[in-house]
Structure 1
Amino acid sequence: MKHVYKVLTVILFYTSLCNGMFAEQGADFKANGTVKGRITDSSKQTLPGATVIVESIHTGVTSDANGYYTLSNLRPGIYDVKVSYVGYTPKVIKIKVINGKTLEENITLDEGATLHEINITGAFSGQRRALQQQKSKMGIVNVVPADQVGKFPDSNIGDALKRISGVNVQYDQGEARYGQVRGTSADYTSVTIDGDRLPSASGDTRNIQLDLIPADMIQTIELNKVVTSDMDGDAIGGEINLITKSTPSHRVLNATVGSGYNWISDKPQLNLGLTYGNRFFKNKLGIMLAASYQYAPGGSDNTEFTYVNDGKNNIILNKAEVRQYYVTRERQSYSAAFDYKFNPANKIWFKAIYNKRNDWENRYRITYKKLDSSDKKQSVVLQTKGGDNGDDKNARLERQQTYDFNLGGEHELSALAINWGVSYSRASEDKPNERYFGISLKSPFSSSFQDVSGRQPYSNIKIPDIEGNNWTIDELTNSNRHIYENEWKGKLDFTLPIGNGGEYGKLKFGGKFASKVKDRDTKNYEYKDVIGDEWKNHLTTEVRNGFMPGNQYPIGTDFVSKKYLGSIDFNKLTGTEVLEDAAGNYHANENIKSGYVRYDRQLGKKSDLIIGFRVENTNLKYSGFNLIADNDGNQSITATGSLKNHYTNLLPSVLYKYNVDDNCKLRASFTKTLARPKYTDLIPNVNYNVQDATAEIGNEKLRPTTCNNFDLSSEYYFKSVGLVSVGVFYKDLHNVIVTEKWVGSAKELPSNIGSADYVIEKPNNAYDGGIFGTELAYERDFGFITPALKCIGFYGTYTYTHSTTRNYNFEHRVVANGEKIKMQGTPEHTANASIYFEKSGVNIRLSYNTASSFIDEMGTEAALDRYYDHVNYLDLNASFTFGKKFKTTIYADATNLLNQPLRYYQGTKERTMQVEYYGARINCGIKINL
C-alpha cells in the first residue's frame, strides 16, 4: 500500500500543477503549442484509428479507440492538417498554433463516394472501423467493435473472440471460458480492462474467466498479438484488451430485451440491456452508464472415463462416470464512465465496471469405481451435488465477481504530455454450503463394460435397486470456499515529441507499480457417520430421457433428492474436517515494479519504427499448508511458513512497418515476453488423499516462462470494406511449466502412508519449446464480381501452428527415443468462416468455427496424455433493423447447430476421457436505439 500512496502523491502533485500553474500559461512563457480533439462522422459516431497528418512536416498521429487525437510540440504558425479514414472523404483543415496554448479542434468527416455505392450500415459500418484501427496500428492487432459483436450470436467475450484469426476457445457448460492465442496455452495470454490486467476469481489460474463478462458491456475488443514496451510484458500469446464503454460525443440511449430456450433445461431465458450516455456543462462533463442482465437455465449430459496402466503395459479402464448437470447461469454487469475537461490541456476521467456471475448447479453422478481391481473392491456410487435451501434452489451456488475502478488524467505541459492512473481491482469466488451426498454399493461391474477404450463405454448390467440391497452412505459433506484477489495499481507515463510536431520522433517513458494479494480459504466437513437412514425416503429420478451420449446408459436411476440434501441442518450435526481440502488453502502476495522507454520514429514517408525496452521486477511471498499423516493414520496440517522469491525480466522490443501505399502494409517485429507461474503451483504444500492414493505437490522453485517472439505480416485493404492478409510467426519459449504426473513415490510424501503407488502431480519447468505458425485472413463483399452482389460478403481466417519441444527437464517422465512431445494447448489448425447477407435492414449471417485436437495435459506416460478433441461449431443469426429516429432491431439466433460436445480423449482419439453435450440454443429479442 505504501507504494500506491507514493504514486498517488506524485499524481496529485502533477494534477495540481497542471490545473493550477499551467491551466492558463502566461503570455510571456514562450513555448510551442498543441492541437487536440475528437474525430467523428456526420452521425456523431467516433472514428478510431483515423490518420491525422501535418503535411508540411510529414508527421502525424492516429486517433485512439475513442476517436481522440493529439498533435504536440508544434511551433507557432498556420498548418494544413489532413485527416483520412477508410470509406470517408479526406479533409484538409487549417489550424493556427499559438505559443504555449492548447487548441481544441474537433473534426467531422463525410462518407466518400465509394462507400455510398454500398449499404454501409450494420456489418459494413462496424467492420470498417475495425479495419481502420488495424491498419493504423504498428503491431499486429485484431479489433472487434461492439456493433460487430452484435452481428454474431455471442453472449460473452469468449464467444466473440473465436471469430479472430489465431484464436481458439475452450468451453464450459456450452460457453467459451478461456482463449488460446497463436497456439499457446490460455495461461500465456493476458486479459486486460482498458490496458490493465484483471485479477482472476479462480484459485488455480491467473486469467479471468471470459464467460464472466457479457459481450454487450464492451465497446471494443483489441487482440494485441505483438506488445510494445509501454504494455505489460506477461503476454506470450498476446493481450486481449477489453475497452469499456467510454463517454460519447452525443446523447446515446439503447435498450435490449430478449429471451431464449435450451432443450436440456426445458426453460426460457431472459436477456436485458440498457445504455445511456450524454455530455453536459458545455461538453465539459461526459457520462456513460450501462447495465446488462442475463438469466439462462441450461445444463449438460456427460460421461467420463479414467484409464491406467496395469503394470504390464496394458491400458485398462479404472473408473467410469455418468453425469447429469442442471445449471442456471445468471450474469449481471454494470459500468460507468465519466470524464471532465477543465480546458483543452487538462482532463480527468473515471471508469468502473462490476461483473457478477451466479451458477446454480445440481449434478447427479453415477460412478463405477476401481474397475481394474478385484471384484470385492469394485463399487458403484450415486452422488447428488447441491446446496442449501436458502434461495429455494437447493443447488450449489458458485458466485464469481469482479470489480475494477480506474481514476486517471491527461495533461499537457507545453510539449510534455503526462498521463497518470490509479486503480483498484478485486475478483472473488464464493461457494457457500456446497454439498455432496453419495451412496454406494459393493458390486462388480468390470466384466459388464462394453466398448472399452472406445467412444462410449457403458455397462450392460442394470444398477441394483436401492430398496432390498445393502446401499450405504459413501459421503456426506458440506463445504464453504472463498477465494479472492485484490490488486492496487498506479502508473505514470510521459510523452515528449522531438522536433517540430514530433518530426524527429516521439519519446515515451514511465513506470508502473502493482500490488496483488490472493487468498484461498476452504472449510469442508464430513458427516456420513452421524446421519441415519431418513435419506431412503427422499429419492428422485434424474438422468433424463434423451440423454445425449446414448440410451445405453442407466436412464431413470434414483438419487438422493436435492430438496432433502438442501434441508439438512448441519449446525445440529458434528462433522469431521476434511483436511485434504484445508491443505489446499494459501496466501500469496506479489509486487511488480516496471519501467519502460519507447521511441517512435517515422523514417521518411513510408516507414515507421518503434524501439522499446521494459524492465519488470517481481517479488513474491507466499505460504500454504502441508498435510501430515502419523503412524496410526491420523491426519493434521501444518503451515509451510512464509517463503519468498524474486526475479527481474528485461524485455526489449522492435517494431517496423512499411507502407507500400495507403492500402498495403508490411510489418515486422521482435519482442520478448513472459508468463508467470500460477499461484497454486508456487505454494510449497503437499496435499494427498490416502483413500484414492493421489497427491499434489507445489513447487516454490518455479521460474517464469519467457519467450522471444518473431513476426512478419502483410495486409492489403480493399477500397470498399475488406482486406486480405498473411503472416508468419515464431515463438521461442524457455522454462515451459508443465504439471508432471507419475505413479510411485516422492520425497515430499511421508513414508508411513504407503506412497509407493500414488498418482502424483507436481508442476515443473519441464522443457523449452518453439511454435511456428502462419495466419491467413480474407474479408470482402462480393460487389467486385457484380454490383448486384454487394449485399453479400465473406469473412474467413485460418491459422496453422506447429510446436516442438527440447531440453527436457522432467523429474520422472521418460521421453522415449524419437518421441515428439507437443506443446500443451497448441491446436495445429484453427479456422472460422462467415457468409453474410445485408440489405435494406435485413442481416443474415451463417458462421462456422473449427479447431483441431491438441494435448491439454500430460499423463503418467504418453498413452495416458489428455487431449482436447477437435471441434466444429455452426451458428446462424438474423436481424431486421428499421426506423430512423427510433432505430429498432428484431433479432434471432441459433447456436451450436451441430451439437458439438466438449470432448477429451486419452492417448488415442477413440479412447474417450470425457464427453459433454449441451444441445443447440436459440435466442430472440428486440434492440431499440433512441
Structure 2
Amino acid sequence: MKLRLLLSTAILPLTFAVAAQAADVAPSAVVEPAGDGVIGRVVNAEGAPLPGAEIVERGTGRRVVSNTQGEFILTGVSGQVELDVRYIGLPSTSQTVMATPGRLTSVTVTMGGGDVTTVADVVVTGVITDGIARSLNQQKNADGTINVLSSDAIGRYPDPNVAESLQRVPGIAIQRDQGEGRYINVRGAPSAFTAVSVDGVTVPAVDPGTRAVDLDTLPSDIVSNIEVSKTLLPSQDADSIAGAVNIKTRSPFDTRRLAVSGYAGGSYNDYGGNDTRAGATVSNVFGASQTFGALLSLSYSETNRRPENIENAWVEGGSSYVIEETLFKQYETQRTRQALTGALEWRPSDQTRLYARGSYADFEDDEYRNTLILGYGDGALQAGATDTTATYTGARIYRGLRHRTQNNEITTLVLGGEHSFDNGMVWDADLSWANSEQTYPHRDELVYRSTSTTLGYDTSNHYAPTYFYGPNSPIFGETATGFFATPGNFSFRENTFRSNTTQQEDVAFRTNLEIPSQFAGREVAWKFGLKYATREVDADEERQRNRAGAASPGALASMWGDEQGRNFGYNLGTQYDKGLVDAYLAAAKAASPRRMPDSLTADYTAQEDILAGYGQARFDIGATNITVGLRVEQTKFDGSALSVVDFDENDPATVTPVNVSRDDTEFFPNLTVRHAFSDNLIGRVALTRSISRPEFSQIVPRRVENTDGINVEYEIGNPDLQPTLSNNFDAGLEYYFASLGVVSANVFYKDLSDYRYVLNYEVERPVGSDTATDSYSTPINAPDGHLMGLELNWQQKFGFLPGWMSGFGVFANFTVTDAEIKTAQSYGGRDTFALPGQSDTNYNAALFYEKGGFSARLSYTKRSDYLEEINADDAGLDLYVEGREQLDFTASYDFGNGFEVFGEAKNLTDSAGIKYFGTRQRTYEYEKFGYNAFVGVRFKY
C-alpha cells in the first residue's frame, strides 16, 4: 500500500513545477511580495560550488547564504546591484549585476580567480584546507548552531563508517561494538535523543530496542557532507533533543561535468584478519543546456576481526560482591558493508529543479564465537569469600560454539521538486520512503556441560597495568589442564536456535512555502510547512531448543578441531570445529522443538502517524538575524502484542492479542537569534523545545519471558510510557580567523521531563526446597532531569608561519557536561542518578600538515566513563562503561595527475573496551580489538 502511495503521488512535484514554469505566476499573498531579485551560484576558479558563502547587497545590506551547491536567491533588489561575496579561505570579491525588474536575474560569482581584490590572508589549497573552509563557512553563516563535515574532511580520517566520522565533531562521542563505532552521543545525551536522516529522509532504526540509528551500517565514503544541527528551527522535525544529523549524498550538479572518482586498498589487523575497502562514483550532466544529471556511487568493505573478550557476572553474596559466572569469548567475525547511492536530477531552468535520490546500505556481521563459561553459580558459595576471591563447590563448566549472522539494511528514496517564482517565493515538496530491516537468519549454538566440580577465582590483580596478561593476571577457575581438559567430564547440554526479523517502513510527504515580504516596514521571510509521516513496525522472533539425549552429536571430542584457544594469555584448550558444528546444527534444527511461549511473546506490531505543521518568520535588525516560530506535532500510536497465560498448544484461548492506542499533541515554540558583532565575531542564542518518543518495543504491551532452569527473566513493556520533552537553552560565541580557523565556546542547558530509563530489579521466590531469582526489566519515566554543559572548539591552519611551517594546523575540542535524573520513587535509598550514556568529559585533538602534495594528520579522541544501566536494588551493581581513548594517523601524497596514495593507522594505543559494575574493581567486560593498518590509492577525474 505504501509503495502504491509513493508511486501514485510521485507525479505531484513534477506537475506543480511544470505548471509553475509555464505560468510563473504566484497566487495572491496576504503580505506584499518582494518582487525583484537575483538568483545565482558561487563557485571557485575550478567551477566547484562553494557552500556557506555570504552574499551581501551593498546598497541595502541585505544578506543571504549559499546552500550546499553554492546557490542563492536575493530578493527585493533591481537595477544595478552590487554584490559583495565573502568566503573564509578565499579572497573576497564584488560583482555588479543588472537585475531586471519583475523577474529573477541569473548570475554566477567566481571566487579565487585572478581579477578579484584580495582582502583575506589565506587562499584555500589542498584537500584538508578545502574541507575546513567548506565546513567553517556553512557553520559561520547558519542561523542556528551547526557543525559540518565535508567529504574531503571525512576522507582524511581512518573512519570506515558514519559513526566514526562523527566522533571528530565537537561534543560527539561514540559507542562501539567490537571496536567499531555504532551509536553516537551528542553533548552527553543518550543515543536515542538524536534523529538521523539521509538527504532529508528520516531513517528508521534497524535495532528494535531503540530509536537510535546504527550508524555503522552506513559507510562514510557515500557522503557528500554531514550536517549536525545542535539547535533546531521550526522547519525541522522536533524529535532531536540532542541534535539532528543529516547525511547528504552527492549530486551530479556538484561538478556539472563527467566526473569519476574512487579508491581501493587493504589492511592488516594485529588481532587477526585482513580488510579490504573500495568505492567508486561516476556522474555527468546531459543535454544541450546540461539540464539533466545522473550519479551513481558504489561502496564495498570487508572487515575480518578476532577480538578477545572476557565477561564476569557479579552479584551480592552476603557481605561482599562475588562472581557467579565468567565467560571467555573467542570471536572470529567477518563484517561486510555494501552501499549504493544514486541521483537523477532535472533542472530546466535556474528556478526549477526536480530530483530522485536513493540510497541502499547493507551491513552483515557473520560471527563464530567459541565460549567457555565457568558456572560458579551452579554450585554453592563457600565461606570466606571476599570482594576478590571465592570458592564454589558443585560448580559446572560450559563449552559452546555459537554461529550468528546479523544483517542490517537501510533503504531511502525521495522524489521531490523545488521552484523559485519571479517574485521571490520558493515552493518545495517531496515524497519519501525509507525502510530499515534487521534480520538474524540464525543464532545457533551447541553447548556441552561438565559434571560438578570445585571452582574458584582470585581477581586481586583486577586492574593492574598488565591486566589479563602475564603472571599478574586474575585467576579464573581452571585453565586447560586436569578436569577442564578431559572431554569425558562433559556431556551434551543443548542446542538452541533463534531467528528474528524486525522491519520498520516509513512514508512521508513534506511541503514548504517561503514568502519574502515587507511587513511593518521591515523585510521578513515567512516560511510555512506541513509534513505527514506514517511508520509501520513488525517484529517477529522464533526460538527453538533441544535438550533431549537423542539430539546429542556424540562425545565432546568428536566436535573438536585442531585450533587451540588463547584469550588474553589464558589457555582455553581445544576449540570446536566450525564445519562439524554447522553441519550438526543444520541437521538438528528440524528436530528441535519450538520454544513456547517465548516465540510468541517477543512479537509485536506498531504504527505511528505524525502530522506536523509549522510557521516561522526570519528578519534582520541591523547585524542581528532573528527566526521566530512555532511547530505543532500530533502523534497517533497503535501497538499490539500477544499475552500468553498458561500456554497450551491445543488451546488458542491461552494466547490473547493486547492492544494500545494513544494520541498526543505537543507544541514546540522557537526563538533563534544570530548576531554579527563583526565580520569575524558571531554570537548565537536559541530557546527551543524538542521531544524524544518512546522506543516501539518499550511502549507495546508485551511481556517477554526467558527461562533458564528455575529462574525467569522478564522484559515488560509499558503502554503508559510518556515521551521525553526538553526545554532547551543554547548560547555561543564564535570568532573566525581570516587564516582559516575558528575558536568558539557554546553553553547549553536542557530541562528534561519524563526522561525514560530501564529499571532492572530482582525478586526471589521459593521453588520447592530451592530459591529462584527472577529478573525484571521495564521502562519507566523519571519526572525531572537536566543536561547542561560547555563546548569549546579551536581549529586553525597556521598559514601565517614562514616557509614549510605554514602547512601545519590544529583541531581541538573539549566538552564538559553535567546531567542527572530524579526518579519518582527511591531505589535502595537513591532517587537521583547520572544520565545513562553521559560522559562528564569528551575531547578530540588533531595535528595536521599539508604542503605541496603531501598531507598528514595525527588525531586523538577520548571520552570519560558513563553509566549504561541502573540497578534498582544495589548501586554497587550499576553498570558503567569505562572511558576510552584512541590514537589514529593518516597520510597521503597527491601526484597532481588525479592519483593519490594514502595510508592509515587506527587504534595505535591498542585501547580496550571495558565495562564494570559500580567500581572498576568489579570488571564486567574486558575486550581488545588491536590496531589496524590500511594502505590504498585514490583517483579522481
- What TM-score, normalized to structure 2? 0.91
5+ residue gaps in structure 2?
381-391, 469-473
**SS of equivalent to 2:233:** coil
Is the 8 Å Cα contact of residues 143 and 672 (structure 2) preserved in structure 1? yes
Q: CA 1:838/1:876 → structure 2, altered by over 3 Å: closer, same or farther?
A: same
Q: Is the 8 A contact 1:57 1:503 kept in 2?
A: no
Question: What does 1:34-183 align with in structure 2 at a 5 Å threshold?
Answer: 34-72=37-75, 74=76, 76-110=78-112, 113=118, 120-183=125-188
Q: What is the aligned counterpart of 2:216 among 195, 211, 215?
A: 211
> What is the distance in 2 between the residues matched to 1:428 and 1:20?
38
SS in 1 for 2:523: coil
For residue 642 of structure 1, give the secondary structure of its aligned residue in structure 2.
Answer: strand
Which residue matches 2:824?
809
Q: Which moved more, 1:86-95 or 1:758-767?
A: 86-95
Q: Which amino acid aligns with 1:915?
A: Y
> Does structure 1 residue 425 correspond to structure 2 residue 434?
yes
Larger CA deviation: 37-46 vs 495-504: 495-504
Matching of residues 738-757 of structure 1 within 5 Å: 738-744=757-763, 757=773
Q: Higher strand share goes to which structure?
A: 2
Residue 586 of structure 1 corresponds to which residue in structure 2? Answer: 604
In 2 relative to 1, CA 283–331 (structure 1 residues): closer, same or farther, beyond 3 Å? Answer: same
What is the alpha-carbon distance in structure 2 between the residues aligned to residue 67 and residue 75 of structure 1? Answer: 20
* Cα 1:544–1:70 shift into 2, 3 Å: farther
Matches of 1:535 and 1:588, distance apart in 2? 46
- State the Cα distance separating 1:114 from its structure 2 match: 6.9
**3-state DSSP of counterpart to 1:735:** strand
1:699 aligns with 2:718: yes
| Aligned residue among 211, 229, 236 for 2:234 | 229
SS state of the match for residue 628, structure 2? strand
1:872 matched to 2:885: yes
Indicate the larger mover: 508-517 or 467-476. Answer: 467-476
Residue-pair matches, total: 903
Contact 1:630–1:752, Cα closer than 8 Å, also in 2: no
Q: Which residue of 2 aligns with 1:672?
A: 689
Bigger mean CA offset, 685-694 vs 589-598: 685-694
CA deviation string 1:72-101 (max 9, x = no partner): 4x3653322222211223333333333543
Distance 1:21 1:788, change over 3 A: closer
Task: Specify the alignment match of 1:391 in structure 2.
Answer: none
Q: Secondary structure at 2:209's aligned position in 1?
A: coil
1: CA distance, partners of 2:821 / 2:893: 51
- Do the aligned residues in 1 keep the contact of 2:6 with 2:432 (CA within 8 Å)? no
Answer whether contact 1:364 1:543 (CA < 8 A) is retained: no
The alpha-carbon distance between structure 1 residues 845 and 275, as it changes in their structure 2 partners (threshold 3 A), is same
Deviates more, 1:299-308 or 1:363-372: 363-372
How far residue 757 of structure 1 moved from its aligned partner, in angstroms, is 3.4
Q: Once the 2 structures are TM-superposed, how far is the Cα of residue 557 of structure 1 from its aligned partner?
A: 3.6
CA distance in 1, matches of 2:412, 2:768: 48
Corresponding residue of 1:840: 852
1:357 aligned to 2:363? Answer: yes
* 1:897 to 1:498, Cα distance in 2 relative to 1, 3 A: same
Per the alignment, residue 726 of structure 1 pairs with 745
Alignment of 1:411 onto 2:419: yes
Counterpart amino acid of residue 65 in structure 1: T
Residue 105 of structure 2: SS of its match in structure 1?
A: strand
1:849 is matched with 861
Cα distance in 1, alignment partners of residues 632 and 729 from structure 2: 20
Alpha-carbon displacement from aligned partner over 1:684-724 (angstroms, at most 9, x marks no partner): 11122332432111111100001111111101111111111
SS at match of 1:809: strand
Q: For 1:557 and 1:613, how far apart are their aligned partners in 2? A: 65
Contact 2:455 2:478 in 1 (8 A): no
Q: Return the alpha-carbon distance in structure 2 between the equivalents of residues 590 and 665 of structure 1.
A: 40
Match of 1:774 among 790, 805, 820: 790
1:630 is displaced (CA, Å) by: 6.6
Q: Which residue of 1 aligns with 2:935?
A: 924
- The secondary structure found in structure 2 opposite 1:152 is coil
Q: Judge conservation of contact 1:198–1:207 (CA < 8 Å) in 2.
A: no
Structure 1: gaps spanning 5 or more residues = 387-395
Aligned-partner SS, 2:137: helix
Structure 2 CA distance for aligned equivalents of residues 822 and 93 of structure 1: 56
- Among 507, 521, 526, the alignment partner of 1:507 is 526
Distance 1:573 1:877, change over 3 A: same
CA offset digits 1:403-454 (Å, max 9, x no partner): 1001110013444211100011111112213311111113344434444976
Q: Distance in 1 between matches of 2:14 and 2:285?
A: 23
Aligned-partner SS, 2:612: strand
If the length of structure 1 is used for normalisation, what is the TM-score?
Answer: 0.92
Q: Is structure 2 residue 816 aligned with structure 1 residue 797?
A: no
Q: State whether residues 374 and 477 of structure 2, in contact with CA within 8 Å, keep that contact through their aligned partners in structure 1.
A: no
**Cα deviations across residues 497-546 of structure 1 (Å, max 9, x unaligned)?**
1139996120001110111011111112113324234364221255644x
- CA deviation profile, 1:184-227 (whole Å, cap 9, x unmatched): 01111111112232011111111221111111110001111101
Verify the 8 A CA contact 1:429 1:483 in the aligned structure 2. Answer: yes
Question: Equivalent of 1:646, from 657, 663, 676?
Answer: 663
Q: Quote the residue 1:244 is aligned against.
A: 249
Over 3 Å counting, the alpha-carbon distance change for 1:785 and 1:37 in structure 2 is closer
**1:622 corresponds to:** 639
Look up the equivalent residue of 1:420 and give its one-letter code.
A
1:504, 1:680 → 2: CA distance? 48
Whichever residue aligns with residue 69 of structure 1, its letter is F
Query: Partner of 1:685 in structure 2?
Result: 702
Determine the C-alpha separation between the residues in 1 that align with 2:394 and 2:717. Answer: 31
Q: Which residue of 1 aligns with 2:921?
A: 910
What is the one-letter code of the residue matched to 1:690?
T
Confirm whether residue 892 of structure 1 aligns to residue 913 of structure 2: no
The answer to whether residue 460 in structure 2 is matched with residue 441 in structure 1 is no
Q: Which residue of 1 aligns with 2:559?
A: 538
Structure 2: distance between partners of 1:831 and 1:27: 51
Cα distance change of structure 1 residues 581 and 261 upon mapping to structure 2, 3 Å threshold: farther
**Does the CA-based 8 Å contact 2:748-2:790 persist in structure 1?**
yes
Q: SS where residue 572 of structure 2 aligns?
A: coil
Match of residue 843 from structure 2: 831
Correspondence list, 1:597-612, <5 A: 597-604=615-622, 606-612=623-629
In the aligned structure 1, how far is the partner of 2:718 from the partner of 2:282? 49
Letter in 2 for 1:858: I
Flag the 1:754–1:15 CA change in 2: closer, same or farther, 3 A: farther
- SS for the counterpart of 1:772 is strand
Percent identical residues: 24
Q: Tell me, what secondary structure is at the counterpart of 1:65?
A: coil
| Alpha-carbon displacement from aligned partner over 1:56-82 (angstroms, at most 9, x marks no partner) | 22212111122121224x365332222
For residues 441 and 586 of structure 2, what CA distance do their matches in structure 1 show? 14
How far, CA to CA, are the matches of 2:100 and 2:15 in structure 1? 24
Q: Equivalent residue for 2:541?
A: 522
Query: Does structure 2 retain, via aligned residues, the 8 Å contact 1:795–1:833?
Result: yes
In the TM superposition, residue 377 of structure 1 has moved relative to its aligned partner by 5.3
Q: Give the Cα–Cα distance (whole angstroms) in 2 for the partners of residues 721 and 432 of structure 1.
A: 51
Cα distance in 2, alignment partners of residues 230 and 879 from structure 1: 41
Paired with 1:924 and 1:47, the residues of 2 have a C-alpha distance of 31
Change (3 A) 1:521 1:14: closer
SS of 2:160's equivalent in the other structure is: coil
When residues 3 and 174 of structure 1 are mapped into structure 2, their CA distance, relative to the original with a 3 A threshold, is closer
What SS does structure 1 have at the residue aligned with 2:827? coil
**Aligned twin of 1:16:** 15
Q: Deviations over 1:753-798 (max 9, x none)?
A: 9997312111000342111200111111234454552111111000
2:334 and 2:352 map into 1 onto residues whose CA distance is: 47
Superposition deviation, residue 727 in structure 1: 1.3
- When the two chains are superposed, the root-mean-square deviation of aligned CA atoms in Å is 3.0
Deviation of 1:370 after TM superposition, in Å, equals: 4.3
Q: Whole-Å Cα distance in 2 between the matches of residues 2 and 881 of structure 1?
A: 48
